[in-house]
Amino acid sequence: MKKVLNGFQIKLIAIISMVIDHTGIVFFPGVIAFRIIGRIAFPLFAFFITEGFRHTRSVKKYMFRLFLCAVLFQIPDWIFGSEEMRRIFISWGWESVPSIDYELNIFATLFLGIAAISLYDKLKEKHIAYSWLAVAVIATVAQVIGADYGAYGVFYIIVFYIAEKDIRKMLIGWTILHALYAAYEAASSYAVYGVFAFPHSIQLYSLLSIGIIALYNGERGRKMKYFFYLFYPLHMIVLYVIDALISK
């Protein structure tokens, strides 16, 4: 298979997928097609987090940028998500205000993911069990604090790191991860509701992203690092404002 996509092009695919996903959440919550297309975005971002870890000159600076983005880019969600602000917006005549289903944005997950990679990389020479224990602890933190994608997101990043761009290893890791994820959700739903269910089965469509990654030629492409950082909060603000305006 000819590898025809560079990093810039794949990141564009990722943000287009993300915009389609979030557009569906805000404007077309009943149309599943938007959510299916959106499943491509996170794996692509997760893949490039591992690429960034391998190629960055300073892991500490990389982690700090992600942490800073996680904090700063949470502000739009805090504004639109707080009950007090929602009451204010409604008092202005906005009949509906966008809501989110996570407490911390995707950059929090990416930050925790690279932290997990860093610890895994440092501890694996001592004992592989220590590496996985560190990953499990960070994944648990992601789940507890409500980071987008939670523990699942952290493990997804680790799968890409271990696979090292080997598509076969990615498929194996992806299969194991989703089998465990399905088992966890089935057990949790049975414990709470008395029935086996996989509420997030839509995540299985994230497999589509591996086909895109298989086309990656290893080249960086155009350098627009800060564009990709800033696009996340800006597109969310635009969607929130449009929704508020058409709901008046």
The residue-averaged pLDDT of 5-24 equals 95
Domain membership of residue 1 (yes or no) is: no
Residues of the domain holding 132: 7-246
The residue-averaged pLDDT of 126-132 equals 92
Domain membership of residue 2 (yes or no) is: no
Domain membership of residue 99 (yes or no) is: yes
Domain membership of residue 152 (yes or no) is: yes
Domain membership of residue 27 (yes or no) is: yes
Provide the mean pLDDT of the chain: 89
The residue-averaged pLDDT of 207-224 equals 91
What is the number of structural domains in the chain?
1
pLDDT score for 209: 95
Domain membership of residue 192 (yes or no) is: yes
pLDDT in tens, 17-70: 999 999 998 899 889 999 999 999 999 999 999 999 998 989 999 999 999 999
pLDDT range class, residue 240, cuts 50, 70, 90: confident
Domain membership of residue 176 (yes or no) is: yes
Question: Has residue 97 got a pLDDT over 60?
Answer: no
Residue of higher predicted confidence among 242 and 11: 11
Distances (CA, A) of 155 to 59, 78, 181, 188, 234: 19, 26, 10, 19, 27
**Backbone region of residue 146 per phi and psi (left: phi > 0; alpha: psi in -120 to 50; beta: other values):** left
